[in-house]
Structure 1
Amino acid sequence: MPGDIRETTEGPVLLLDGASMWFRSFFGVPSSITAPDGRPVNALRGFLDAVATLITRHRPSRLVVCLDLDWRPQWRVDLIPSYKAHRVEQEGAGAAPDVEVVPDDLSPQVDMIMAMLDAFGITTAGAPGFEADDVLGTLATQERRDPVVVVSGDRDLLQLVGDEHVPVRVFYIGRGLTKATLFGPAEVAEQYGVPLDRAGRAYAELALLRGDPSDGLPGVPGVGEKTAATLLARYGSLAAILAAADDTSSALPGAQRKKLLAATDYIAAAEPVVLVAHDAPVTLSNESDALPLTAREPRRVAELAGEYGVTSSIERLQKALDKLP
């Protein structure tokens, strides 16, 4: 029947970083892919095909597409004014301040994606005043029933890996789906040299220390990724590193001590910016985040698929759903 949903809880909950996925689809699928009326649909097609691939690989029982309702929250900018500042369109170019630079051909496709998700009955989630990272962080850390797989091309989400209540893993797609890597605590600890027993939080602390130019976060001057990892491996946590910097009798080298003490104000301000929220006021578009086995509105899905020229992608999505238990 239309809109049938899964009643089993055998599979994980799949949390998708919506913007991350459709940006990558837009740049990874040829712009020559168009609807019958000539509109570009490369991001739409790539996104739908990616969802079908993810369902086939992870066999989820629940799925949520997480949204950026505020891509650059003011509370983060107040703490670190440079946060994502390089992504803001210039007012002189005729755009309103704090408007993110998005390719002209992508914005209409986001509307198409949202329309298709709604017609199919796939749940989306957002939180006013928060980014998609915060929605992902909140849903992942508050989950108490099923294992969680977070899908994103943003390494910041590696801070979510853990096993405290349920296993939380990050399926990192920054190099594309075919080269995607599933990260748990062991993989994060091995790749970044952070302590295994707190790999997720330690990764966030590493990112804070080294900085992230893609987000406009300068980091601690003179402390790169290798130095940050070495400090975390030696002392275990950012708090312990700062305590060593304050302790003149500690074995911390003088040059590193000086750099850390000079950056204490930055570190204090940056910590809540780098850490994703675990308590954002998330709302879901549907009553349940159960993955529908069939389209909620099959006629509307068919009409949209024909209008956008993505019938084959919808067929691939349905085929992936048909293989679920």
Structure 2
Amino acid sequence: MLLDTASLYYRAYFGVPDSVRAPDGTPVNAVRGLLDFIGRLVQDHHPDDLVACMDADWRPAWRVELIPTYKAHRVAAETPAGQADEEETPDTLAPQVPVIEAVLDAVGIARVGVAPYEADDVIGTLTGLARGPVDIVTGDRDLYQLVDDERRVRVLYPLKGVGTLQVTDEAVLREKYGVDGRGYVDLALLRGDPSDGLPGVPGIGEKTAKKLLDAYGDLAGIMAAVDDPAAKLTPSQRKRLDEARDYVAVAPKVVRVAGDVPLPAFDPTLPREARDPAVLAELAERWGLRGALQRLLSALHS
């Protein structure tokens, strides 16, 4: 089981009231929500291995070089000139991230992030290396591209809280989007994604992208059709795709998750008991997390 950790703690932050606070009054709603989420996942799915994948670089320069608008709208306005871009984060969420990291380490849940890559890239690399079935837990549809029935790779997408997950396999993708996992990259880059600053091809929305992929198979087939006078593209489609050649040439590398991240050595085995009980007890006391940690440890023991 691979966790898109930032995606999940963002959901926890907005899903759990900020009245959930540590004894000193500091909000810990994202921490509490994430711990309960992980406990529920372990309880319901019983993974042998679990990795919390992290964004060591949330906006890699190599992606920005190809598409300068990539996540540009998320850059914090106060990021000093000459420094790496900082992500715009709610004031009461940013201080919770180090707490999340410390708690995961004390519990013994593997936490992996590698610069200059995003968590998605770590997930893509680990998925490629996996010898058994993989469940990817994320609220980010970008990772649908990794769904693969033959390799038993699914995405568990939270629909409501932690109890309602959409188990996304190829049948679900075909029903919702008309593509399989491999085709999802082409669909995504054609329609664009405002949340990631991907412009897409102007005038090509999701429905048109589906029709084009149905007709021509993949992005390469679509672009070949642009150069084929006999292809049954409308004049506006042909013009828009032709004008978007520069974007289409680089977008696949930006949208597709990397599969070759140089991973550090780590143990993905799901712990059955806390790695560092003394540190965990201190964290539980300081941040008011005893109940959430008891629930998580109970799930790990079961």
Q: If the TM-score is normalised by the length of the shorter chain, which range does it land in?
A: over 0.9
2:224 to 232, 237, 243: 243
Distance in 2, matches of 1:301 and 1:102, equals 26
Distance in 2, matches of 1:175 and 1:30, equals 15
Secondary structure at the counterpart of residue 182 of structure 1: strand
- Residue of structure 2 in register with 1:10 after alignment: none
- Residue of structure 1 in register with 2:176 after alignment: 191
- Residue of structure 1 in register with 2:206 after alignment: 225
Distance in 2, matches of 1:315 and 1:270, equals 45
* Unaligned runs of at least 5 residues, structure 1: 1-13
Distance in 1, matches of 2:239 and 2:226, equals 8
Distance in 1, matches of 2:18 and 2:81, equals 26
Secondary structure at the counterpart of residue 180 of structure 1: strand
Assess if the C-alpha contact under 8 Å between 1:141 and 1:160 holds in 2: no
Distance in 2, matches of 1:176 and 1:48, equals 13
Task: Give the number of aligned pairs.
Answer: 302
Instruction: Determine if the alignment matches structure 1 residue 266 to structure 2 residue 252.
Output: no
Distance in 2, matches of 1:174 and 1:270, equals 28
- Residue of structure 1 in register with 2:275 after alignment: 296
Q: 1:175 to 1:232 in 2, by over 3 A?
A: farther
Instruction: Determine if the alignment matches structure 1 residue 21 to structure 2 residue 2.
Output: no
TM-score by length of 2: 0.96
Assess if the C-alpha contact under 8 Å between 2:79 and 2:85 holds in 1: no
Structure 1 position 91, deviation (Å):
4.0
Instruction: Please show how residues 1-325 of structure 1 align to structure 2 within 5 Å.
Output: 14-91=1-78, 98-144=85-131, 146-164=132-150, 166-173=151-158, 175-194=160-179, 199-284=180-265, 286=266, 288-323=267-302
Distance in 2, matches of 1:94 and 1:256, equals 40
Which residue identity lines up with residue 188 of structure 1 in the other structure? Answer: L
Per-residue CA distance 1:248-295 (angstroms, 9 max, x = gap)? 1122222211211111111112110011111111225x3x11000010
Q: 1:261 to 1:59 in 2, by over 3 A?
A: same
Secondary structure at the counterpart of residue 105 of structure 2: helix
TM-score by length of 1: 0.89
Moved more, 25-34 or 93-102: 93-102
Distance in 2, matches of 1:273 and 1:313, equals 37
Distance in 1, matches of 2:229 and 2:160, equals 44
Cα RMSD of the aligned pairs, angstroms, is 1.7
Aligned-residue sequence identity (percent) comes to 53
* Unaligned runs of at least 5 residues, structure 2: none
Distance in 1, matches of 2:253 and 2:115, equals 17
Distance in 2, matches of 1:54 and 1:93, equals 39
Structure 1 position 175, deviation (Å):
4.5
Which residue identity lines up with residue 43 of structure 2 in the other structure? Answer: T
Which residue identity lines up with residue 316 of structure 1 in the other structure? Answer: R
Secondary structure at the counterpart of residue 127 of structure 1: coil
